[in-house]
Structure 1
Amino acid sequence: MTLARREAPHGSWKSPITAELLAAHTLSLGEVAVDGDDVYWLESRPGEAGRNTIVRRRADGTLTDVLPALVEGRASYSARGLVYGQGGGSFAVSEGLVVFVNHARGGAHPDQRLYRVNPGRTPVALTPDTGGKHRYGDLSIDRARNRVLCVREDWRNLQEGQPRIALVAVDIDGQKQTVLAQGRDFYSSPVLSPNGRRMAWLAWDAPSMPWDGCELWVADVDEEGLLHHARLVAGGSTESIFQPEWSPQGELYFVSDRNNWWNLYRLQGRSVVPVLEHKAEFGAAQWCLGMSTYCFVSPRHVVCAFNEQGEWRLGRLDVVLGQFSELETPYTDIRQVRGGFATAYFVGGGPDQSASVVRLDMESSKTHVVKAAGPVPEELRPYLSRPEPLHYPTSELGEAHAWYYPPTHPGFQGPAGEKPPLLLVSHGGPTGSASTQLDWTVQYFTSRGFGVVDVNHRGSTGYGREYRLSLYGNWGVMDVDDLANAALRLVQNGKADAKRLIARGSGSAGYTTLSLLAFRDILRCGTSIASIAHLDTLLDSPNKLEAHYLDQVLGPQPEFKQLLQDRSPGVHIDNIKRSPLLFIQGLKDTRVPPQQTDELVRRLRANGVPTALLLLEGETLAPQEPAALARALETEFAFYVRVMGLGVAEPLVPVALEPEAAARR
């Protein structure tokens, strides 16, 4: 029997989805590797000081940590690379041998050396201690030559303040390193053919990002492992290549956006032949190394993830007949697709599914969860809000996309005629996409009577190359327009209260949040979590991949230097006249230093704009440690309750708003 729902104002509903529950679901699952009947993956464990450990699952279901556990409360080994600032491809496995990049600190700097380890053994270093000045990523094992192929970032001899990049081979039994290719700004994806006689890789130069344009190269490999007769086979400055992969027969496959969509192609002789052409994305923005969206599960069958209208799905492709069919799964966010014999593994999540390592049996097309980041309690499922697609007109006669999460509670409904407050959020990057995977932060607010809209503004992936690149030169304008117009559309549709629009964001998404506050006058209040307020702070980024990113999304520097000021919300913070702000700031943040946030708070308060400030010890960016995460979320909710005068039954943390008189208006 279904009980009648009680009427209560939106935003005041009491929910069992608590900040403590959210903080308990912080386990993160990452890279996946298949070795025979075994599967390996990365687990990032906040309870172990954020250590990334490698977990092995045998065919009999036994789970084992590959890396030794904590020593005296500190991480002894943690698998994480730092190449290009984003890392990725931090371990590889072959016949039970694991090679990984160690991130644990042995001194003042992260180790970043390569180690080999067999389960149950002590790791052995393969590379010398350079004080963290040699970094490695995109690992793959060349078993025949007993070596590791990888990308190496060398910080010992800087070029214009940036490290040198090379493709190298590192001997597994010694410390010898052989440079295979160098001279380009960036390399990625070194993959060896099944017979070991050819190698493919990607290369590109600044200011291009890999999703702007990159090149696919192939070379012969001699018996000593050196490359010969390297030739360019696809790609260029206006074509993005993603994930080169050899078929079991030795044919080279890859993803290209030459037809506006990241579709699958193969090299046939010296010609590039389409394997599957579809108005969907079979690739993604290569922010990290070691990404994978497809794999071979037999000589003729490929399992591939594809993003159609912002939602990921899974499909099976017969590369001989060209037949493609979608596989029914509950997952709408799919990554790290890796193949074994008649089996595929991936990390998948959905609107009511936490991120999980999933096994797909090709014979039955059934999926099985190998490891979930956190179980979803059955009693909470009625409280989960499911995303609804939103497509709407925006500025410059464009169209933008978003996911709308309606207020959802089995025991409450809003009073007749009352519209809910709306939280506006967007993804980072800004080249990225909104995930439809279960997000407990979203559910925390929707189960209390808020609506949430997660915007895939122009510049997002999942909608083709033209949409992805449309933000270039327009960051701080089009993304802001698209968030504002998402709110307008939901107000027009009767799904949001125009007087209770809220924006929240962190990092580059927080830049859009602050810009919305500074350059548009539609918000009741906002939350800035380690948000970028001054664009000139990005000019000296130590992150090699992003060193020239502003040249693309804003305009070439220094020719477009004035835009740094024109589009920096921190410069125009005085434009904010009446919207209260909450700032959440990590005291160890180097990209957005606390002093910068202090100055914004001082100026706003001097102008009579009520602000609150939450400082978090030990946090560098957005809160990660479970206790800090819970505290930040509870403070944020209490801030909204106070600003909008919501009456709630649950106890709230105190929030100090200054100036006090303005807060009462």
Structure 2
Amino acid sequence: MTGGEYGVSGGATDTDGRAGGGPVSGGGPVKTEAPYGTWPSPVGAALAAARDGRPEYLGTVGEELWWTAPRPAEAGRRALVRRRADGTEESVLPAPWNVRSRVIEYGGRPWAAADRPRGGPLVVFSHFPDQRLYAYEPDSGAGAPPRPLTPVSTVGGGLRWVDPVLRPERGEVWCVLEEFTGPAPTDVRRVIAAVPLDGSAAEDRRAVRELSDGRHRFVTGPRLSPDGRRAAWLAWDHPRMPWDGTEVLLAEVTPDGTFGGARTVAGGPGESIAQIDWDASGRLLLAGDRTGWWNLYRAAPRPDGTLGTPEPLCPREEEFAGPLWKIGLNWFQPLDNGLIAVVHGKGGTALGILDPETGTLVDAVGPWTEWASTLTAHGTRVTGVAAGPHRSYEIVELDTCTGRSRVVAAAHTDAVDPAYLSEPSVRTFTGPDGREIHAQLHPPHHPGCTGPAGTPPPYVIWAHGGPTGHAPLVLDLEITYFTSRGIGVAEVNYGGSTGYGRAYRERLRERWGVVDVEDCAAVATALADEGAADPARLAIRGGSAGGWTTAASLVFTDVYACGTILFPILDLRGWATGETHDFESQYLHGLVGPLDRVPDRYEARSPVAHVDRLTSPFLLLQGLDDVICPPAQAERFLARTAGRGVPHAYLAFEGEGHGFRDAGTLARALEAELALYARTFGFSRTDVPDLELRT
């Protein structure tokens, strides 16, 4: 189903308890009683893997809409897709072109395009395998392949590019350059640079013109004022992460295209400004959290190069931005008519249109409870990426004149009968010291099966990554894979998560491995105490920082019967002394404390140092190309676990980095996870390979 058109509603949308619409089975034939975990399901691992990922990095090119799209069946590459004015869609580049940046390893906006009166669009993009910038003219008719614009460097991680801004009138593209200067992952510098569009820098690094001075460790791409006279960008330095504190830099763009007089005009160590942009009148818009919530502000540049006092445009205890894990994310989009499209909310998010003069905010109506951090506009139409509890991520257009929204691309289709979808609920639990813990529950559900009377189901606690992140309430066939078989899932937005204000996310400051573990355990035990979950059949799973929480929960609590650990952090000291990439190399300063000040804390909280406490079976899944949470951490953990009598399995995948992308890998990992639960919870399945557990 693709839905239809939807109207708008006035005021803010209350996301608490909002679970969205969707089919609910009722009446019908009597259900068959069967043990939890054994229910037959049409949601296979291959189907869930095929639906992995979502559209990203929307942009308008003339009358067309462009974006990047996941291709799990094509080794997980990211394709660049265009929707022409007549509604037809096509890939801009064939396989194996992979439009994805590796700057700060998590990447960011990897492409930019300009419409031209003759010859069609010119697109510049970052190609994942070699990280070079390429230029391509898909409508030129000459059939020429993309041509490289930047050279290859053999030093460390090479040269990488992200967040491009095309300047065809200057014959350049401006973007963030990440340049490795040595073999270590922290031997790196980042500047804003100008790359010639004529290809003269393809073999000559000296032809790349640096625009910023390199005094900051991290920068975002420049945002040019409407008159082209000023450039603004964000910057921050170790040990801060961008959600701790960022600075807004403002510079004059001189006639020869250089930046002059760059100075910090907003932000600082205690304020995270996640996005900036210019309105049509030349005033700077900022999304900052000086009040404890990411709200939207506006300020006018002064003639002396400073910035006027930022004025709040819609002060609320809601988030109008989020964590800057990738370079070039955008939660707001100024429109030519002076209005501003905003993604906002508490917990869940909505797309709203803000009148900055009155503070009036009107939200789009529809079945979507989560809007991604990507917006684009053309005239009075705003387009974003949105999903709901019973809808996958799709591309939605809002007409600000009529108030109507409609799906225009990547439309949701029911991969299975919606009767198999669980009806989720949003819950707030009470944790230690009476603190609130936000979670989303997905109970077991099947249109034709029910569990044994008086027997509660098994549940898996899902700990999201980050840890400065958030589990959105959206349709996820990986969750349905379990719930349709009779296994409940609880996604825990533990203390430290985003979406609930700065105070909530700073609960984790110097308490990583404590608050997250306690909050997940509090939700699990509350479900057991309520009779909603079987206390003897509780599991926990997570990837990256969620893998850390999973491993720490298995080591430091006795709540869980087993756990699935994906591409984890397991050894804090190793991670803090060279076993990760530059972006997060000092993340632990805030999460745990400086190593030189609290060295014992690094030992006390690391799962690798306490494998003697481990008694529950576990599955460890790892990408062998992961430079963020490298295989060395997993292998060290396994070496210390060997011979201790704890059943476990280890699956390592060649060609996979941090987070799996290939359809085959995704399916194998999901089947192995189900096999672990079958072994541990005591049910049998014939639709997944058996999992060999070692001790």
Q: TM-score, normalised by structure 2?
A: 0.88
Q: Which amino acid letter does the alignment assign opposite residue 318 of structure 1?
A: D
Aligned to 2:602: 564
What number of residue pairs does the alignment pair up? 645
Q: How far apart are 1:129 and its partner, in Å?
A: 3.0
- Residue 354 to residue 467, structure 1, CA distance change in 2 (3 Å): same
Give secondary structure in 2 for the equivalent of 1:234.
strand
In the alignment, the residues of structure 2 paired with residue 260 and residue 158 of structure 1 have an alpha-carbon distance, to the nearest angstrom, of 39
Aligned to 2:30: 4
Aligned to 2:208: 177
Aligned to 1:134, which of 137, 147, 159? 159
Indicate whether 1:376 and 2:414 are aligned. Answer: yes
Given that residues 102 and 128 in structure 2 are in contact (C-alpha distance below 8 angstroms), is that contact kept between their aligned partners in structure 1?
no
Q: How far apart are 1:643 and its partner, in Å?
A: 1.6
Aligned to 1:124: 147
User: What do residues 533-564 of structure 1 show as CA deviations (whole Å, max 9, x unaligned)?
Assistant: 21223221452211211111111122222222
- Residue 543 to residue 45, structure 1, CA distance change in 2 (3 Å): same
In the alignment, the residues of structure 2 paired with residue 22 and residue 158 of structure 1 have an alpha-carbon distance, to the nearest angstrom, of 38
Given that residues 350 and 363 in structure 2 are in contact (C-alpha distance below 8 angstroms), is that contact kept between their aligned partners in structure 1?
yes
User: What do residues 513-548 of structure 1 show as CA deviations (whole Å, max 9, x unaligned)?
Assistant: 010000001111111222222122322145221121
Given that residues 132 and 149 in structure 2 are in contact (C-alpha distance below 8 angstroms), is that contact kept between their aligned partners in structure 1?
no
User: What do residues 115-158 of structure 1 show as CA deviations (whole Å, max 9, x unaligned)?
Assistant: 35444553222223334622111111234433222111111368
More deviation in 159-168 or 261-270?
159-168
Aligned to 2:9: none
Indicate whether 1:80 and 2:100 are aligned. Answer: yes
- Residue 130 to residue 324, structure 1, CA distance change in 2 (3 Å): same
Equivalences for residues 212-227 of structure 1 within 5 A: 212-227=244-259
Q: Which amino acid letter does the alignment assign opposite residue 480 of structure 1?
A: V
Given that residues 117 and 124 in structure 1 are in contact (C-alpha distance below 8 angstroms), is that contact kept between their aligned partners in structure 2?
no
Aligned to 1:63, which of 62, 66, 89? 89
Q: Which amino acid letter does the alignment assign opposite residue 556 of structure 1?
A: P
In the alignment, the residues of structure 2 paired with residue 542 and residue 643 of structure 1 have an alpha-carbon distance, to the nearest angstrom, of 33
Aligned to 1:257, which of 289, 296, 316? 289
In the alignment, the residues of structure 2 paired with residue 611 and residue 159 of structure 1 have an alpha-carbon distance, to the nearest angstrom, of 33
In the alignment, the residues of structure 1 paired with residue 163 and residue 620 of structure 2 have an alpha-carbon distance, to the nearest angstrom, of 37
- Residue 472 to residue 112, structure 1, CA distance change in 2 (3 Å): farther
Aligned to 1:95, which of 115, 123, 129? 115
In the alignment, the residues of structure 2 paired with residue 616 and residue 133 of structure 1 have an alpha-carbon distance, to the nearest angstrom, of 24
Aligned to 1:145, which of 136, 151, 170? 170
Equivalences for residues 579-594 of structure 1 within 5 A: 579-589=616-626
Equivalences for residues 426-441 of structure 1 within 5 A: 426-441=463-478
Q: How far apart are 1:114 and its partner, in Å?
A: 4.4
Aligned to 2:21: none
Give secondary structure in 2 for the equivalent of 1:470.
helix
Q: How far apart are 1:491 and its partner, in Å?
A: 1.8
Q: How far apart are 1:249 and its partner, in Å?
A: 1.9
Q: How far apart are 1:292 and its partner, in Å?
A: 0.8
In the alignment, the residues of structure 2 paired with residue 172 and residue 587 of structure 1 have an alpha-carbon distance, to the nearest angstrom, of 36
In the alignment, the residues of structure 2 paired with residue 159 and residue 222 of structure 1 have an alpha-carbon distance, to the nearest angstrom, of 36
- Residue 169 to residue 492, structure 1, CA distance change in 2 (3 Å): same
In the alignment, the residues of structure 2 paired with residue 98 and residue 466 of structure 1 have an alpha-carbon distance, to the nearest angstrom, of 45
Given that residues 580 and 628 in structure 2 are in contact (C-alpha distance below 8 angstroms), is that contact kept between their aligned partners in structure 1?
no
Q: How far apart are 1:448 and its partner, in Å?
A: 1.1
Give secondary structure in 2 for the equivalent of 1:305.
strand
Given that residues 91 and 98 in structure 1 are in contact (C-alpha distance below 8 angstroms), is that contact kept between their aligned partners in structure 2?
no
Equivalences for residues 8-19 of structure 1 within 5 A: 8-19=34-45
Q: Which runs of 5+ in 2 are unaligned?
A: 1-26, 202-206, 302-307
Aligned to 2:193: 168
Give secondary structure in 1 for the equivalent of 2:145.
coil
Q: Which runs of 5+ in 1 are unaligned?
A: 660-665
- The structure where strand makes up a greater share of residues is 1
Q: How far apart are 1:419 and its partner, in Å?
A: 0.8
- Residue 52 to residue 652, structure 1, CA distance change in 2 (3 Å): closer
Q: TM-score, normalised by structure 1?
A: 0.92
Aligned to 1:329: 366
User: What do residues 267-291 of structure 1 show as CA deviations (whole Å, max 9, x unaligned)?
Assistant: 0351111111111101010000110
Aligned to 2:384: 346
Aligned to 1:609: 646
Q: Which amino acid letter does the alignment assign opposite residue 100 of structure 1?
A: V
Given that residues 595 and 602 in structure 2 are in contact (C-alpha distance below 8 angstroms), is that contact kept between their aligned partners in structure 1?
no
Equivalences for residues 572-583 of structure 1 within 5 A: 572-577=610-615, 579-583=616-620
Aligned to 2:559: 522
Given that residues 353 and 400 in structure 2 are in contact (C-alpha distance below 8 angstroms), is that contact kept between their aligned partners in structure 1?
no
Given that residues 271 and 288 in structure 2 are in contact (C-alpha distance below 8 angstroms), is that contact kept between their aligned partners in structure 1?
yes
- Residue 143 to residue 19, structure 1, CA distance change in 2 (3 Å): same
Equivalences for residues 184-583 of structure 1 within 5 A: 184-268=216-300, 270-308=308-346, 310-335=347-372, 336-372=374-410, 375-377=413-415, 379-539=416-576, 540-541=578-579, 543-577=581-615, 579-583=616-620
Equivalences for residues 148-159 of structure 1 within 5 A: 148-156=173-181
Given that residues 158 and 164 in structure 1 are in contact (C-alpha distance below 8 angstroms), is that contact kept between their aligned partners in structure 2?
no
Identity %: 37
- Residue 623 to residue 251, structure 1, CA distance change in 2 (3 Å): closer
Q: Which amino acid letter does the alignment assign opposite residue 271 of structure 1?
A: T
Give secondary structure in 1 for the equivalent of 2:233.
strand
User: What do residues 85-113 of structure 1 show as CA deviations (whole Å, max 9, x unaligned)?
Assistant: 211121112215444343343xxxx2433
Q: Which amino acid letter does the alignment assign opposite residue 39 of structure 1?
A: L
More deviation in 154-163 or 198-207?
154-163
Q: How far apart are 1:237 and its partner, in Å?
A: 0.5
Given that residues 424 and 487 in structure 1 are in contact (C-alpha distance below 8 angstroms), is that contact kept between their aligned partners in structure 2?
yes
Indicate whether 1:625 and 2:645 are aligned. Answer: no
In the alignment, the residues of structure 2 paired with residue 275 and residue 616 of structure 1 have an alpha-carbon distance, to the nearest angstrom, of 48
